[in-house]
Amino acid sequence: MRVLLVEDERRVASFIARALRENAYAVDVAETGEAGLEMARSSSYDAILLDIRLPGLSGLEVCRKLREAEVETPILMLTARGLVEERVEGLDAGADDYLAKPFALAELLARLRALMRRNLGRSGAKLRYADLEVDRHRRRVLRNGSPILLTSKEFALLEFLMLRAPEIITRSEIVEHVWDCHFDSTSNLVEVYINRLRQKIDHDQPHKLIRTVRGVGYSLRLEA
Ligand code: CA
C-alpha cells in the first residue's frame, strides 16, 4: 500500500516514513502543502497523512482542495493535541480521521489500516484466498497452514494481489500501490518480485496461485 506523507518537520517526517516502510508501506514524502497537493493529484495513493500545520498552504487547505478536485483518497489529519477546533476543522475540510501529535506509532498504524480497510471495503485484518491466509496485523502468511517468511516488499506485493484476487492487476497498478515515487519504471523489479513470491508461495504446491497474464499483468487465482 502506498502512502503520501505531508509533513514539514524533517525529523518527524523521516521517523514516520521509516516506521511505515518497516511495515511494508511504500512512502512518498512532501515537505510543503503545495508539493503534497501536486503529488496527491498526479499519483494514486491508498492513504494520505496530512499535517495540519504547514508553512504556506495549510493542511486544511490541501484537504479542501483535494476534495474539490474529487480526489477521494482517505486522509488522516495530524493535529495538535487538545485543540478541538483543529480536529473539527479537519473533519469539516474532508479528512476521514485525525490523530493528535504526539502519537504512538502503534496507533498511527492502526488508524491507517482502519482507513484503508474502509476504503477497500474489507472488514477483516485477515485476507484469505484458497488455502492462502495473510494476517495484515501480524504480517504473517500461511499457505495450507504452514508459515511462509516474506520480506517487507514481498509482503506488500502479496497483500495487494490478495486484496484484488482473483482480478487481473496491471503492472502499472502494482507499481503505483507497492512502490514509491523513486521507482525506476524501466527496471524489471516487478517481475523479479513476482518470481520471488512465486518461489515462496507456489513452489512445491500442487495448485499454483500466482498467474501471469501475458501482456496485461498478474493475478492471484486458483484455476478451476
Ligand atoms: Ca508542521
Going along 62-150, which residue ranges are E strands?
75-80, 97-101, 126-129, 132-135, 140-143, 146-148
- C-alpha 210 to ligand 1 mean position (Å): 43
Residue-wise pLDDT tens digits, 58-102: 999 999 999 999 898 999 999 887 778 888 888 889 999 999 988
C-alpha cell read off for 221: 487465482
Residue-wise pLDDT tens digits, 190-209: 999 999 999 999 998 999 99
Cβ atoms of residues 213 and 207 within 8 Å: no
Q: Is the pTM of this model over 0.85?
A: no
Residue-wise pLDDT tens digits, 74-83: 999 998 877 7
Give the H/E segment covering residue 176: helix 171-178
- C-alpha 13 to ligand 1 mean position (Å): 10
- C-alpha 63 to ligand 1 mean position (Å): 15
Q: How many residues does the chain have?
A: 224
- Residue 80, SS3 per DSSP: strand
Order of strands across the sheet that contains 168-170: 168-170, 217-220, 210-213
- C-alpha 55 to ligand 1 mean position (Å): 7
Residue-wise pLDDT tens digits, 14-29: 999 999 999 889 999 9
Cβ atoms of residues 8 and 139 within 8 Å: no
Domain architecture of the chain: domains with CATH: 2-120 (3.40.50.2300), 126-220 (1.10.10.10)
- C-alpha 7 to ligand 1 mean position (Å): 6
Q: What is the mean pLDDT of residues 114-122?
A: 72
User: Which residues have their alpha-adjacent CB atom under 5 A from ion ligand 1?
Assistant: 8, 51, 53
Residues in Cβ contact with 211 at an 8 Å cutoff, skipping those fewer than 6 apart = 218, 219, 220, 221
Residue-wise pLDDT tens digits, 168-188: 999 989 998 899 888 887 889
117 has pLDDT over 80: no
- Residue 63, SS3 per DSSP: helix
Residues in Cβ contact with 28 at an 8 Å cutoff, skipping those fewer than 6 apart = 2, 3, 4, 5, 39, 43, 45, 180, 181
Q: List phi, psi (to 5°) of 86.
A: -60, -40
The closest of 32, 68, 69, 67 to 50, measured between CA atoms, is 32
Q: Catalogue the long-range contacts made by 214-218 (C-beta closer than 8 Å, 24 or more residues apart).
A: 216/168, 216/170, 217/168, 217/169, 217/170, 217/171, 217/173, 217/174, 218/161, 218/168, 218/169, 218/171, 218/174, 218/194
